[in-house]
Amino acid sequence: MLVKRIAFTCALSLCAIVAPAFADAADVETQSHEALGKSVKQLLDNERRIMLNGGADRLAMIATTAPRSSITPTKRPAYAGISYDREWLAAQPEAKGGAQWRCLAEALYFEARGESVKGQFAVAEVIMNRVASSRFPDSVCGVINQGTGKKYACQFTYTCDGKAEVINEPRAFNNVAKIAKAMVDGAPLRLTGGATHYHTKSVSPRWARTYPRTATIGYHHFYRHTYRTASN
């Protein structure tokens, strides 16, 4: 393609240069065909040399001035302005992501889809706080599936209650998926005081008498584990 473009441009330039030469000639018939041929060849060679050099320069310029957006990594979105309400959530784009995002989105759907936006963020914080703790698995999926396999022996009941995990409320899932995306992308953990456990207000697990309560948001109490016990 480059060779064809050069040849075409050369031909145009040659016409612009050679035509006046013929027009200004007093007596073209007095010039020998051999001399004319040499003149044309020299002009063509000069044009080709100029275009080749110019083409190389142009390619070099294009290579070094590519748009920054195409050569720099995309920055993570800033979540400093989270307001933990439906208006903020509705303003967020549809969320997509990898395996860790999917695990968190499903956990929020099955564990907290009936909660407020703030309550859903709080449950997500517990999972992220566990990921950051050396006492728990170091991935979102690892934390959520810890203990799964034996009925009611897991950390998150929906993973071992024997019921099929079916998402029947797409709108609710889309909402918690946005929260999961924000958390996986690095949203601040500032609601629960570092909580690693939670339970609904309708129950009172044994460990709740040992761990300090750090927050109450919506239908859940939140707690931070200590290292002085072997409980959950």
CA 194 centroid distance within chain: 26
Euclidean distance between CA atoms 69 and 89, whole angstroms: 27
- The answer to whether 159 touches 148, Cβ cutoff 8 Å, is yes
Under a CB-based contact definition with an 8 Å cutoff, are residues 87 and 77 in contact? no
What does the block give as tokens for 149? 């396999």
As a whole number, mean pLDDT of residues 148-160 equals 82
Residue 80 banded pLDDT, cuts 50, 70, 90: confident
Banded pLDDT at 77 (limits 50, 70, 90): low
Chain-centroid distance of CA 173 in Å reads: 20
Question: Please, is 154 exposed, middle or buried when counting C-beta atoms within 10 Å of its C-beta (0-12, 13-18, 19+)?
Answer: middle
Mean pLDDT, residues 185-212? 93
Could you tell me the two tokens for 230?
């072997």
Which region among 65-69, 140-144, 174-178, 221-225 has the lowest average model confidence (pLDDT)? 65-69
Amino acid (1-letter code) at residue 231: S
How far are the Cα atoms of 81, 131, 229 from residue 187, in angstroms, in the given order?
10, 14, 30
Share of the chain above pLDDT 70, in %: 64
CA–CA distance, 232 with 211 (Å, rounded to integer): 10
Least confident of 11-20, 38-47, 103-112, 119-128: 11-20
The reported pTM is 0.64
